[in-house]
Amino acid sequence: MKILLVVSIFMGTLFANEYYAKVEPIQSYVIKAAVSGEVVYTNEAIEGEFAQNSVIVELDSAVDRVDLEQTQNKLALFKQMIEIEHNNYERLKKVTTRSDFDKDSQLLKSLNLQSTKADLVIKIAQLQESIANKKLIEKNRYIYSISVKKGDYVNAGTLLYEAKDLSKGKVEVFVPIADAATLMSKQIVLNNEPTNLKIDKMYKVADAKNISAYKVEIIIDEPKEFSSLLKIEFK
């Protein structure tokens, strides 16, 4: 046991500033369904490729579109009704022979119509949002995987696809808390090649698993490849 302890301490000192980590995309996205519906289209050909304002997944929105059209027509009618009832009230309140009850009743008609109009405006906005959420478009992200197929029925929260931002790479290593303060000023060497890279972010709270270490992020512009193992040194 004593021999093992001595070896462990020696190795930790020898390689204290040498780490290995994979190059990962700067950001990964997990896209889930915002609404329920049947999958009517999946762009399987783009899986493993970069999107170019491409539709990735589309859910059935035919009923929503009909509902939206009819609700918009209904709103137009209500606007006309409101104008008529409002004009009727304006004329009625000038007639001295009509009771206050009649005048209030006419005003109430106008107000009820305006309340219904507000409900229709909200419904139109909801339908427009629902339709938009059923057609998932990506501008330029890398489509890593598509998890649904045409004919599937999905509920809100179902995983649709995963995308990644490959414009930059990110490397994460865990450094001993005792060494953290000195690393910010040191040069970063990747696979034995000196670089001008700097530590982008250091989380100065001990990691949940590596309880005696801080997580450090290094951002790499235009990495040659992802998921490759890098040797990282601080010199």
The SS3 assignment for 206 reads coil
Both tokens of residue 29?
């996205």
Q: Is 64 exposed, middle or buried (0-12, 13-18, 19+ CB in 10 A)?
A: buried
Confidence (pLDDT) at 62:
96
| 119: enclosing H helix or E strand | helix 100-133
pLDDT digits (tens, 9 = 90+) for 54-85: 999 999 999 999 999 999 999 999 999 999 99
Residue 16, pLDDT above cutoff 80: no
pLDDT-derived band at 122, boundaries 50, 70, 90: very high
The whole-model pTM stands at 0.75
Q: Look at the block and give the residue holding tokens 């040498």.
A: 18
Token pair listed for 169? 């790479």
* 145-194 confidence digits (pLDDT tens): 999 999 999 999 999 999 999 999 999 999 988 888 888 889 999 999 99
Sign of the alpha-carbon torsion through 12, 17, 22, 27: positive
